[in-house]
Chains A and B, each alone.
Chain A
Amino acid sequence: MPDTAAEVRQQIREVLVGVFGGPSFVSQLQDAGSLREAGVPSTALVALLVAMEDAFGFQWDDDVRPEVLRSIDSLAGHVLALRN
């Protein structure tokens, strides 16, 4: 299990590469940038969230706040907060 924010961000990027079937789009994403504004479609976002459950061993709450899903940074922060 990755322990640092950098390691979690990297693992999220690897999950995204799997969702998009390659690294070309994912390599253009900024850690702090909005995934939606970068062009991540809703189907890919949901595929990412489902894959994160498997990769990090947790389940998303039904009432998760939208800002948690905004960026790679915020997703990584959520994973680390759950661990702590």
Chain B
Amino acid sequence: MIVESAAPRGAAPLMSMETSRVAPPHGPAEQFAAGRRAAAAALAAAGSAGRTVERARDGRPLFPQGFAGSISHTGRLAVALVVPGAEAVGVDIETAAVTPRMAAFVLREQERRLLLAPAGPYTARDLFAAKEAAFKALNCIGTLGEFLFWQIHLSRPEGVLTATYRGESVPVWIHPQADLSSAVAIRR
């Protein structure tokens, strides 16, 4: 399974994305360890002297100052994204099925009508990943209080998928694959 950054190089020329396989038995501890390995590799590729990512009290990963980063994992694979100098970033990968009921839960009527296939270009799993990635980025800003990822609104003004919550926005790029959806949100 290959994970590629969905974001074009022009969006963040110095970004680095690394992956690490989750060791058996693929539980939460192994997923956490794989995420930290991917983060250390992404930090190294981005030129950071610090390679350790601490865990905040609320569970968020704390990347070294100046190296905004994010981690996501499935039961088999972890991915980490680092964008030096960015204000906040988010990455998400999803392999689990998103049923129509789940899509109706996390996507507003307008999002389903304009973005979801067949009218739009994305699957429900793609848009699920997009909201999760955007949530991680917007949650890093620290001024929005507590909120849930599905409360973010997705739209596509001028062809750029954009996530918005309470007036704060972040562009999101989706990389759809048959067996995996990945999304990247970068706020410069």
Contact of B59 among A37, A50, A60, A65 (CB under 8 A): A37
* Number of A-B residue pairs with CB-CB distance less than 8 Å in the complex they form: 43
Report A35-54 CB contacts with B as 1/0, cut-off 8 Å: 01111011110110110000
Report B98-111 CB contacts with A as 1/0, cut-off 8 Å: 11011001100000
Interface-lining segment among B5-13, B46-54, B141-149, B169-177: B141-149
Given A37-B59, A43-B128, A69-B148; A50-B96 close (CB under 8 Å): no
Complex interface: chain B residues within 8 A of A81 (CB): none
Complex interface: chain B residues within 8 A of A41 (CB): 74, 96
Q: Does A1 contact B (CB under 8 A)?
A: no
Range, interface on chain A: 20 to 34
Tell me the count of chain B residues lying within 8 A, CB to CB, of chain A.
22
Complex contact A46–B28 (CB within 8 A):
no
Complex interface: chain A residues within 8 A of B96 (CB): 41, 43-44
Complex contact A46–B59 (CB within 8 A):
no
Complex contact A67–B146 (CB within 8 A):
yes
Complex interface: chain B residues within 8 A of A36 (CB): 59
Report B143-160 CB contacts with A as 1/0, cut-off 8 Å: 000111111000000000
- Which DSSP category, helix, strand, loop or mixed, fits chain A's interface? loop
Contact of A47 among B94, B99, B146 (CB under 8 A): B99
Q: Does B31 contact A (CB under 8 A)?
A: yes
Given A38-B28, A41-B96; A47-B147 close (CB under 8 Å): no
Contact of A49 among B99, B105, B132 (CB under 8 A): B105
User: Across the two chains, which residue of chain B brings its CB closest to A51?
Assistant: B101
User: Across the two chains, which residue of chain A brings its CB closest to B29?
Assistant: A39
Q: Does A57 contact B (CB under 8 A)?
A: no
Q: Does B66 contact A (CB under 8 A)?
A: no
* Sample (18) of A-B pairs whose CB atoms are under 8 Å apart: A25-B27, A36-B59, A42-B128, A42-B132, A42-B149, A43-B96, A43-B98, A43-B102, A43-B128, A46-B128, A46-B150, A49-B105, A50-B101, A50-B102, A63-B151, A64-B148, A66-B147, A66-B148
